[in-house]
Amino acid sequence: MASIDAALLDFQRLDRLAAGTSALHRLDPRAKVLVVLVFLVSVISFGRYQVSALVPFFVFPAALIGLADLPAGYLARKVALLCPFALVVGVFNPLLDTDIQLYLGPVAISGGWLSFASILVRTLLTVSAALILLATTGFPAICRALEQLGMPKVFAVQLLFLYRYLFVLAEEGGRAARARELRSFGTKGQGVSSYSSLIATLLLKTWLRAERIHMAMLARGFTGAFQIRQNYRFGRAELLYLCGWSALFILLRLTNPAELLGSLVTGLFS
Amino acid sequence: MSHHIVAVKNLRHVYPDGTEALRDVSFRIHHGESVAIIGANGAGKSTLLLHLNGYLAPTSGEIQIGDFPLNKGTLPQIRRTVGMVFQDPDDQLFMPTVYDDVAFGPLNLGLSGGDLDRCVIEALERVGARHLVEKAPYHLSGGEKRRVAVATVLSMSPDILVLDEPTNGLDPYSRRQLIALLKEFRHTRIFTSHDLDMVLDLCERTIVLKDGEVRADGPTLEIFQDRELLEECRLEKPLSLQGCPVCGTRR
Amino acid sequence: MHMADALLSPAVGGSMWAASAGAIAYSSAKVRRELDDRKVPLMGVLGAFLFAAQMINFSIPGTGSSGHLGGGLLLAILLGPHAAFLTIASVLIVQALFFADGGLLALGCNIFNMGFFPAFVVYPFIYRNLAGSCPGRGRETWVTVLCAVIGLQLGPFAVVLETVASGIAELPFGTFLLLMLPIHLAIGVVEGVVTAAIVSFVRKARPEILEPAATAAPAGGVWPLRRVLLGFLLLAVVTGGVVSAFASKDPDGLEWAIARITGGSELKARGALHQSLARLQDTVALFPEYDFRSSALKPEPAAAPRAERPLSVHPGTSLAGMIGSLAVLLLVVASGLFLKKRNLRKAYGIH
């Protein structure tokens, strides 16, 4: 199944970005997680018709992409592909909210279009922030950060295990799906019944694997307590990073530099 | 030097569904020996290995590892003594990085800080995988995975190494590398494998299992010369002992 | 039916985060107390299994479309409620990070919608009661289908509630509900059929797998705690919904309702609205720096829409906003490029 293989490759590419060595990659993951949290709260706390005030927030993804030397085109393509649900729901806004909110010269713009644009910008911002967090930190480090920030250990271990076996099982599932596709000639044989037994077989194999892993853990002295190694330090750089970005987000939340700049420009011309 | 001995006496194992995987198995392996356990699929090799570190409990019979008989009380000690490398390294390497994986056993043994670091690095150096320490297991090649899997066991400094199909699925070069590595070890070693050429390289002694019983037990070369025995047990002479297909001469 | 960050108000997102975090903490404590260390790798690998299973599609006969397994109910049947909830939550977190399904703030909603309902509502209250301890094949099938349908109606219902309570999307409650529920009715039936088939396959091949979850019947003491938790979570949801509805949705919802009530005279109503807005605009024009001050005065996020609505009507302001946005965007891109260049230079030792 080409689509599964492609998805996996894409997944691995994103995963490998976290192996970067920039200063940003080396920061304590807690700082990065917290900054993204402040960013997200600031972005979604804006009103529904707000577009221009949201735009300056793009400074965060742009700066991070620059600092961490991430492939901007690749991330942009991913972001663009990843926001269907919000847009499907948002696309009704222009139809339902036709009150005129704004005039751009002779063109009247309704509240629905404004709020639709706002949803679009929010989606771009929130999705890119999540991807960049992942690309600069890596999933295991995020789990460790969350554990240090108070997430229950059982759940942290669950996340680490899940992540470890994602690739293994996705490949196994992909192989099974390919075998089914090669023998099903078009859509026949791709139905619910063959799907169910395929998934059930995969489930049984997974179960056996879990038993073998448990064996391997016992063989190495596992007694129920799971150790998670923590080797990060929340130092001055982290504090600076956290406070700097948070202050900027709060400032951007309270003022609207885009509009101020615009007023300045239009003021110069008029 | 009795503490590196593996003694199995009249071992029998019946699975919950009624399958009798082991009927009556007895053998004794001494300190420093390198022994292969071979046999057809379903002969009971894996079931036998799972008894050696107490994952399965015998239906009847006895197992003695070193000075201890295997029972609930001695289990932690025995799991420390017997290092087991599983067939699929993906089952063995379950932590997010190679370091965490190699450190898993020592951490459970109570090591920490500098001791832990030293122990992990030493184990990785012995298998020539020092450079992989911060890598994630799913980014390793098959051969690298296998060597790291061996390191996860070495880090607990076991006396006895048990390896299930170690060369399974490796390319010829990685296979060679692994065999050379395993040759260096001075531990008591127990292998199961279908790779009879590897057995010939590594083990002076071979135990042949058939339908849950020991069919033969003796020097490897002798067993591999016995054509009838091999055929009966659905095995074949190693390629290196067979005639050359081009010139037709026998070794 | 992933909820998305962009449609979410902070109040709703925050309450749902709290609810899901609470449920995760509770489930973690439960799983830890069970002390079944086999579950540690099992939950992790089953999470990965669910992830892989969702990548494989089947074709739905007669429609030309395809679907995949949701898996919440299946995991609950295999693992029991607490472990299943943690497993589903972990899968959703990975999806939120790697595929940005929904987003990080909407994660609270998504974990709740797709994990809490199947694991803590449908499975213990409906599935267990109807299926009993050893159901026949026919009974097991229809109970599973019924439970899958109920679970897949509760989830989207919650999505609608959360969206409407957040008030970012304009879709009215009834319409949205009518859009979501029938689609998910069909999805639920298919999910149920697939889940039932998988469960019966597993029962035939490895019956012992299904035993522990079924025999580990909740003791009498467990129920009150569970009820308390359920009550607490529902309370959180309702509070979040009500608070945010009042905070952010109120002005528009009211206007919309008023326009509806005046019915046929919709035009007139709109005219009146325009007049009042125009009046407001005059007031605003007296305070050129209105935006700055109003936001500064009302930093609490939920109150923001009130202030912006009249403001954005001002043509001059909006033009300024537009131009300013473009300029900022250009600056942002330029700075990003600059940083990147600098990095490259550093890497290659060029100055």
- Among left, alpha and beta (phi > 0; psi -120 to 50; other), residue C103 is left
Chain B residues whose CB is inside 8 A of the A218 CB are 53, 55, 79
List the structure tokens of B94. Answer: 């379950």
C-alpha neighbours within 13 Å on the C-beta side of residue A38 = 19
Residue B18 has a pLDDT of 85
Instruction: Determine the distance from the C-alpha atom of residue C199 to the mean position of all C-alpha atoms in its chain, rounded to a whole number.
Output: 27
B191 touches chain A (CB under 8 A): no
Please determine, looking at this structure, whether the domain spanning B1-66+188-251 carries the CATH number 3.40.50.300.
yes
Q: Is B217 exposed, middle or buried (0-12, 13-18, 19+ CB in 10 A)?
A: middle
| Residue C125 vs residues C118, C129, C141, C218: alpha-carbon distances, Å | 10, 6, 17, 11
Return the axis-axis angle of helices B142-154 and B113-126, rounded to nearest 10°: 130
List the structure tokens of C142. Answer: 């229809």
pLDDT at A221 over 70: yes
pLDDT in tens, B63-112: 999 888 888 888 888 888 899 999 889 988 988 889 989 999 998 888 88
Tell me the C-alpha distance between B135 and B141, whole Å: 11
pLDDT in tens, A182-220: 887 766 667 777 888 888 888 988 888 888 888 888 888
- CA angle C52/C55/C59 to nearest 5° reads 130
Tell me the C-alpha distance between A234 and C65, whole Å: 50
* Unique residue bearing structure tokens 């799972």: B50
Per the CB < 8 A criterion, the answer to whether C141 and C196 are in contact is: yes
**Selection from B144, C167, B248, C246 nearest residue A46 by Cα:** C167
B120 touches chain A (CB under 8 A): no
List the structure tokens of B57. Answer: 């409990």
Q: Is A175 exposed, middle or buried (0-12, 13-18, 19+ CB in 10 A)?
A: middle
* Helix segments in chain A, DSSP class H: 2-17, 23-26, 29-44, 59-68, 72-81, 84-90, 93-96, 111-137, 139-148, 153-182, 192-219, 236-254, 257-269
**Selection from A81, A159, A65, A71 nearest residue A124 by Cα:** A81
Least confident of B106-115, C155-164, C281-290, C314-323: C281-290
List the structure tokens of B26. Answer: 């007895």
Mean pLDDT, range C150-174, rounded to an integer: 85
Q: Is B82 in a helix, a strand, or coil?
A: strand
Chain C residues whose CB is inside 8 A of the A48 CB are 167-168, 248, 252, 305
Mean pLDDT, range A153-159, rounded to an integer: 89
For residue B7, the surrounding DSSP H or E stretch is: strand B6-14
Chain A residues whose CB is inside 8 A of the C87 CB are 158, 162
pLDDT at C272 over 50: no
Low-confidence ranges of chain B (pLDDT < 50): 1
C-alpha neighbours within 13 Å on the C-beta side of residue C188 = 24
CATH architecture of C5-249: Orthogonal Bundle (1.10)
**Selection from C219, C51, B200, B54 nearest residue A162 by Cα:** C51
- Provide φ and ψ at B46, rounded to 5°: -65, -40
Tell me the C-alpha distance between B14 and B20, whole Å: 4
Cβ neighbors of B95 (< 8 A, separation 6 or more) are: A160, A164, B101, B104, B137
- Quote the DSSP letter at residue A19: T
Considering only alpha carbons, which residue of chain A is nearest residue B54?
A: A219
C299 touches chain A (CB under 8 A): yes
For residue B217, the surrounding DSSP H or E stretch is: strand B213-219
List the structure tokens of A221. Answer: 């002295």
- Give residue A210's identity as a one-letter amino acid code: A
Tell me the C-alpha distance between C325 and A118, whole Å: 13
Chain A residues whose CB is inside 8 A of the B91 CB are 209, 212-213, 215-216
pLDDT in tens, C178-221: 878 888 888 888 889 889 988 888 888 887 777 655 554 443 33
> Structural domain boundaries of chain B?
1-66+188-251
pLDDT in tens, C323-342: 666 767 777 777 777 776 66
- Provide φ and ψ at C171, rounded to 5°: -55, 125
Tell me the C-alpha distance between B167 and B195, whole Å: 7
Mutation target among C27, C168, C290 for the A interface, most CBs of A within 10 A: C168
Q: Is B185 exposed, middle or buried (0-12, 13-18, 19+ CB in 10 A)?
A: middle
Q: Is C64 exposed, middle or buried (0-12, 13-18, 19+ CB in 10 A)?
A: exposed
CA distance C97 to chain A (A): 6
Tell me the C-alpha distance between A81 and C338, whole Å: 26
Q: Which of residues A267 and A24 earns the better pLDDT score? A: A24
Mean pLDDT, range C262-274, rounded to an integer: 38
User: In chain C, which among 100-119 make CB contacts under 8 A with chain A?
Assistant: 100-105
**Residue from the list B55, B82, B139 with its beta carbon closest to the beta carbon of A215:** B55
Tell me the C-alpha distance between B213 and C143, whole Å: 48
pLDDT at A175 over 50: yes
Tell me the C-alpha distance between A98 and C165, whole Å: 21
Task: Give residue C73's pLDDT band: very low, low, confident or very high (50, 70, 90).
Answer: very high
**Selection from B238, B184, B178, B168 nearest residue B206 by Cα:** B238
Chain C residues whose CB is inside 8 A of the A254 CB are 295-296, 299
- Give residue A158's identity as a one-letter amino acid code: Q
Strand pairing category for B205-210 and B34-38: parallel
Could C104 and A36 be called an inter-chain contact, meaning their C-beta atoms sit closer than 8 Å? yes
Residue B134 has a pLDDT of 86
Percent of the residues in chain C that have a pLDDT greater than 70, as a whole number? 58
